[in-house]
Amino acid sequence: MKRILIVAVCLLVAVSAWAQGKVVVYTAHEESIINALVPMFEKDTGIKVEYVKLGSGDVIKRAKAEAARPQADVIWSIGGEQLEAESAILAPYTPKEWDKINPVYKVGTNWLPYTGIMNVFIVNTKMLSPDKYPKTWLDLQDARFKKLISSARADKSGSSYMQLCNVLAIYGDKGWDIYKNIMKNMVISASSGAVPKFVNDGEQAVGITLEDNAFRYFAGGGPVAIVYPEDGTVAAPDGIALLKGAPNLENAKKFIDWCLSKPVQEYLVEAMARRPVRLDCKDPKGLIPISKIKTIPYDFGWAARNKDAFVKKYVDIAMDLGL
């Protein structure tokens, strides 16, 4: 009896120790997705998740400030160019089933692809007929869209910075004049997530946003349509990364492996309408195949190296325009 009791106590201690493991995560993920995935991970692994939700720029600022003595283990779901710009504070890691990740998304230095994202226009179908939809980035300069384009700030939002870079990647130096003309037609929103809502609610006719954000309103029956710019759109991953000096290293690796696993990627397809980064997962139902969209290469290194200069120029233009 005593021996059985001792064994039982030892097992209880072992299980308790396992359950007390944790991983600390900094994330810009949507709260609804965090609230769904965190309990799933904890149930699957017994590892406790402590997370801090911030805007993507603030995630990087905090991680950089703590680089000498890291307080977190993983950066979860922020723009790839921000991770690329700060790759020195990240640690390289090759996750399990790396061979299942689509090579087109393997573009980062010390960070990993998490979901596939794409720039699109969302249009209000009650405010615009199909023949009046903007078909290209150039069309957004048209005076008929004055104060009818919703966008977040490129100096605050990772997705909006990518949209600026999208125009510059296509049109080079001329892209600045084009983007300035687009900005003349913009109404700036407080966040990138608000952009498609404003269009759905009829406050603006057009929004520059991410595909998944637009698709949720479209799939929900809103009076909106999705337009893929005919002159080209960036198709790139947002990222997940292991922080250099992560205090809970093994748990951090388990968290990353779990996020890139097939069940989680399939969940993200269903819940967020994000394109998966895995080869063995299907795209969200209702989205056109990526092969039918004019996509352009996105050089994360270029976007990262030039971010300070591009953001400064953007802010100068915004101040000139009173945005």
pLDDT digits (tens, 9 = 90+) for 67-85: 999 999 999 999 888 899 8
- Side-chain-side CA neighbours of 5 within 13 Å: the count stands at 2
Least Cα distance to 141 among 181, 171, 173 occurs for 181
Return the DSSP state at 207. Answer: E
Q: How confident is the model at residue 30 (pLDDT cuts 50, 70, 90)?
A: confident
CB atoms within 10 A of CB 294: 11
How many Cα atoms occupy the beta-carbon half-sphere of 140 within 13 Å? 34
| H-type alpha helices, 20-98 | 31-45, 56-65, 80-85
Given this model, what pLDDT does residue 158 score?
81
Going through the chain in order, the beta strands assigned E by DSSP cover 22-27, 48-53, 74-79, 90-91, 112-124, 149-151, 186-188, 206-210, 224-227, 233-243, 295-296
pLDDT at residue 91 tops 70 = yes
Q: Is pLDDT of 227 > 90? A: yes
CB 45 within 8 A of CB 34: no
Q: What is the DSSP letter of 101?
A: B
- Contacts of residue 71, defined as CB under 8 A and 6 or more positions apart, other chains included, come to 24, 247
Residue with tokens 């993200």: 268
Residues near 131 by beta carbon (within 8 Å), at least 6 away in sequence = none
42 bridge partner residues: none
281 token code pair = 């997962």
pLDDT of residue 80: 86
pLDDT at 2 over 90: no
* Model confidence at 163: pLDDT above 70: yes
Report pLDDT for 290: 82
The string of pLDDT tens digits covering residues 146-159 is 999 999 999 988 88
% pLDDT > 70, the chain = 94
pLDDT tens digits for range 291-321: 889 998 888 889 888 999 999 999 999 999 9
Is the separation of the CB atoms in 50 and 23 below 8 Å? yes
Mean pLDDT of 140-144: 96
Mean pLDDT of the chain: 90
**Span 45-67, pLDDT tens digits:** 999 999 999 988 899 999 999 99
What pLDDT does 8 receive?
39
Task: Report the SS3 class of residue 278.
Answer: strand
- Flag whether the pTM goes above 0.85: no
| Token code pair at residue 125 | 């179908």
Provide the Cα torsion 215, 218, 220, 223; round to 10°.
150
> Per the structure block, which two tokens stand in for 23?
């991983």
Average pLDDT over residues 21-28: 96
Instruction: Give the SS3 label for residue 158.
Output: helix
CA distance 209 to 11: 51
